Amino acid sequence: MNATASEPAPPTGSDPRPASNVKRTLLILAAVWIGGMVALFLIFGSGGRNNTYQPQNEFKLDNWVHLGVFSINKAVLYLFLAAIATCVSMIYIARRMQARPNKVQTAVEALYQLMRDNIAGGNLDERMAKRWFPFIGTLFLFIMFSNLVGYIPLPTNTEHKIDVLGLHIPSFSLYAATANLSIPLVLALMVFVSYTFEGIRAKGPIGYLKGLVPGGVTGGMAVFIFFLEVLSNIMRLMSLSIRLFANILAGHLIILFMAGALAVILGLSALAWFTIPFGIALFAFEVGLVAALQAFIFATLTAIYLGGAVAEDH
C-alpha cells in the first residue's frame, strides 16, 4: 500500500510545473496591464478632447533648406539616408568577403541568392535575368533599406520640439522615404520605362503594340482588348506605387496611434498604457515582415513585367 502511494504520478505529457509557471506569469502580466490602466484612469482621469494636436502633421514636409524645386525636406533626408545605408553596407560587406563567412555575410549571401535565383531568375529567361538582375537587386535592396531606416526613431519632427538642457531639438519621429507617394511613383515610372523600352527593343514599336493583344483575337474585340491592355499598363503604375506607399504609411500611422497619439487626441492617459503592447507588436510585425515583403513584391512584379514585355505570345 505504502509503496503504491509514494509512487510518482504517471508522466502525462510534459511536466506540469513549467506550464503553470507560464500561466502564472501571463496572469500577473495581464493583471499589471489591466490594473495599471485602471489606476492611471483613476489618477489622471480624462483630460477632455485635445483639438490642438493634428496627427497629419506628423507626415507634413517642411522645407529645411530652400532651393526652389530642389528644397530639402524630411523625405529627401530619408532618401539620402536609405541610399547611403544601402551603398555603404553592401560595399563594405562585398569588400570583406571571406571564404568562411560570418553571420552577416551569410545573411547577405542568402539575400543575394533570393534576388538572383528567385526574383530575377524565376521570372526571366537567362539572358534577360543576367541583364536586369542589377536593376532588380538594387530596387529590392533600396526599398528594403528605405523601409527599415523608417522604423528607427530619428530627431526629424520640426513641428514639435523638446527641450533638453536649453537646447531645442526636434522630437523623435518615424518617417520613411517610401511613406511619401512621390518616391514609389518615381520608382514605378522607372520600372514602366524600362519594361516598355525592353519590349520595344525585343519586338519593335509596332510589334510591341501588337503584342499587347493576345493571338487569335481579331476585329472589334482586338481593339477593345488593346485599349484594356493599355489601361492596365497605366494602372500598373498606380498599383505599384500606391501598394508600397500605402503599406508603409498605414504601418507608420497605426504605430503612431497605438504608441500614444490616440491617447493624446482623446485626452485619456490610461489609453496609452492599454495600447502600447499593440504598438510594440505591430512595430515588430512591420519591421520583421512588411518592410522586406514589400521590397520583395516590388522587385518580383518588376521582374514579371519585364518578362511579360519580351514574351513571345501574351
Residue ranges binding other proteins (CB under 8 A): 56, 118, 239, 242-243, 246-247, 249-250, 293-294, 296-297, 300
**CB closer to other proteins out of 243 and 314:** 243
In one-letter notation, the amino acid at residue 90 is: M
Are the C-beta atoms of residues 244 and 139 closer than 8 Å to each other?
Answer: no
**CB closer to other proteins out of 173 and 294:** 294
Are the C-beta atoms of residues 199 and 208 closer than 8 Å to each other?
Answer: yes
CB of 56 to other proteins, least distance (A): 6
CB of 218 to other proteins, least distance (A): 32
Q: Determine if residue 170 is left, alpha or beta; phi over 0 gives left, psi from -120 to 50 gives alpha, anything else beta.
A: beta
**CB closer to other proteins out of 81 and 115:** 115
**CB closer to other proteins out of 86 and 247:** 247
**CB closer to other proteins out of 217 and 297:** 297
The C-alpha atoms of residue 314 and residue 307 are separated, in whole angstroms, by 11
CB of 85 to other proteins, least distance (A): 23
CB burial class (10 A; 0-12, 13-18, 19+) of residue 11? exposed
CB of 153 to other proteins, least distance (A): 23
Distances (CA, A) of 193 to 5, 118, 297: 82, 23, 18
Name beta bridge partners: 45. none
CB of 296 to other proteins, least distance (A): 7
